[in-house]
Amino acid sequence: MGDNILRELYNKVLSLFKQTEKEENAKDVARNRLRVVLMQDRTNLTPELLQRMRKELVELLSKYVEMDKEALELNLDQDGDQMALMLSIPVIRAKDEAEIKAELEKEDKEKEETEAEEVEEEAETEEAQESDEDASEEENETEENTEDIEEDNSDSEEEVEEAEESDSVDSEKEEVSEDKASKKETK
């Protein structure tokens, strides 16, 4: 009997402590939630878009390092007036030079193929232009867009390569600081 009462008392005291611990965090919880929500407000990046960005980043970076895809952390952070995109990737293993080369060559080949396809498509659109001008205009626009994205990709590849040169550590922290104009521009 006495043992039970003691145990109950102990649990009660313990739960009291647990509660105060939780309450102590209310400020941090508020601050962190607010940070996330403000970044979304300021950048117009919805959770879905962030998810997509994350996925694309994983695809891109996986070419160079073997990493824990689930543990990749993507956060937007405010550093004074500057907005920064914080990327934290636990690296499982650095890839061999050969592996990376093979991967890149494979990709270059694919790129060439798609480019060739694009040229074909362009030729097609030129034909289509004669018949329907409006439609072809739209297509050209989308092509331009994809080109832009490809350019962006090659830029970030260079950055990653630089980072790769430094020795592989278990967890490598990369900071991709975006020259995104300060938050207020979103309006």
Partner 1 sequence: MTGRVIVITSGKGGVGKTTTNANIGTALARAGNKVVMIDTDLGLRNLDLLLGLENRIVYTIVDVVEERCKLKQALVKDKKNPNLCLLAAAQTRDKTAVTEEQLKDICEKLKKDYDFILVDCPAGIEQGFQNAVAGASEAIVVTTPEMSAVRDADRIIGLLEAKEEIKSYKLLINRVRPNLIKSNDMMSVDDVVEILSAELIGIIPEDTGIITSTNKGEPIVNDEKSLAGTAYRNVARRIMGEDVPFLNLEEETSVVAKVKKFFSKLVGKEK
> Is residue 187 involved in binding partner 1 (CB under 8 A)?
yes
Nearer to partner 1, 27 or 158 (CB): 27
- CB under 8 Å to 42, separation ≥6 — which residues? 83, 183, 184, 186
Per CB under 8 A, contacts with partner 1 among 15-44 are 23-28, 30-31, 33-35, 37-38, 41-42
Diameter over CA atoms, the chain = 95
> Is residue 3 involved in binding partner 1 (CB under 8 A)?
no
Q: What is the SS3 assignment for 172?
A: strand
Angle at 74 between CA 98 and CA 57, to 5 degrees: 35
Place of tokens 């390569």: 161
Nearer to partner 1, 54 or 183 (CB): 183
Nearer to partner 1, 28 or 170 (CB): 28
1: its two tokens = 């009997």
Nearer to partner 1, 26 or 149 (CB): 26
Q: How far apart are CA 8 and CA 102, in angstroms?
A: 64
Min dist. Cβ of residue 37 to partner 1 (A): 6
Instruction: Determine the size of the site formed for partner 1 (CB under 8 A).
Output: 22
**Cβ 39 vs Cβ 53: under 8 Å:** no
Dihedral (C-alpha) 154, 159, 162, 163: value to the nearest 10 degrees? -130
Per CB under 8 A, contacts with partner 1 among 61-120 are 78, 80-81
Nearer to partner 1, 34 or 123 (CB): 34
Binding site for partner 1 (CB under 8 A): 23-28, 30-31, 33-35, 37-38, 41-42, 78, 80-81, 183-184, 186-187
